[in-house]
Amino acid sequence: MNAPQDSMVETAFAEFVAAPLSDQFGNEVQWKLFESRPRVLLFAGKDAAAAAKDWGVFLQKTFNSNFHPSPQQLQTLAPEEKIKVIAVATLPEVPSIFRGLFRSGFRRDAKDMGLALDFSRAVSRQFSYDGSEPLPLVAILPKGSRVEGSQILALYGLSSDSNLRKKVTERISKFLK
């Protein structure tokens, strides 16, 4: 699904299933660690990467102001994190022979944040995100291990859109109560 550049698109999904992913260091993402917090998954392919990073910065400043993430924080849950922000790089076009090269590139280029690398689209497919979209997908999940589709808010758009920012912050705030 290609989202239009100038609007937000809200979609609904059946259920979130925590499929295995690894980060740029080859460490497996431990989804169970994050079930005690609302989670925000930021999906981006190559064209939406910068916009997804802007979302990450906005969400960290808004909800986790005392937390300064590092790439290793994708494997832990720090006490000062009110929400867990997980950037998911959707990379289905990368042949398996080149995946190590891509990991090393992300280690070099994404020094200040952890990235879950979704080469197989195991998680991205659940949100109908294929990585070719021009905009990132922001998926907000509540606390808990079982997340029904009616609890998920997923939106395409830019963090500079004040209406979208408001909708995202309201949903996260509701999950924090």
CA distance 37 to 29: 15
The answer to the question of residue 93 being in a domain is: yes
CA distance 7 to 148: 25
Q: Domain range for residue 84? A: 9-176
The answer to the question of residue 1 being in a domain is: no
CA distance 116 to 90: 9
The answer to the question of residue 147 being in a domain is: yes
CA-to-CA separations, 137 to 46, 97, 108, 159, in angstroms, rounded: 13, 27, 24, 11
Percent helix, strand and coil across the chain, each to the nearest 5: 35, 20, 45
The answer to the question of residue 2 being in a domain is: no
Res 113: pLDDT: 75
Res 43: pLDDT: 96
The answer to the question of residue 4 being in a domain is: no
The three-state DSSP-derived secondary structure of 97-149 is: HHHHHHHHHHHHHCCCCCEEEECCCCCHHHHCCCCCCCCCEEEEECCCCCEEH
Res 147: pLDDT: 85
CATH code at 78?
3.40.30.10
- Greatest alpha-carbon span in the chain: 46
Res 112: pLDDT: 67
The answer to the question of residue 133 being in a domain is: yes
The answer to the question of residue 3 being in a domain is: no
One digit per residue, pLDDT tens: the chain, 177 residues? Answer: 444 443 444 555 567 888 999 888 888 999 999 999 999 999 999 899 999 999 999 999 999 988 888 877 788 888 889 999 999 999 877 778 877 877 887 777 776 678 899 988 999 999 989 999 999 999 999 998 888 777 888 999 999 999 999 999 999 999 998
CA-to-CA separations, 141 to 43, 92, 102, in angstroms, rounded: 13, 23, 28
Q: How many domains does the chain have?
A: 1
pTM of the model: 0.87
Res 2: pLDDT: 42
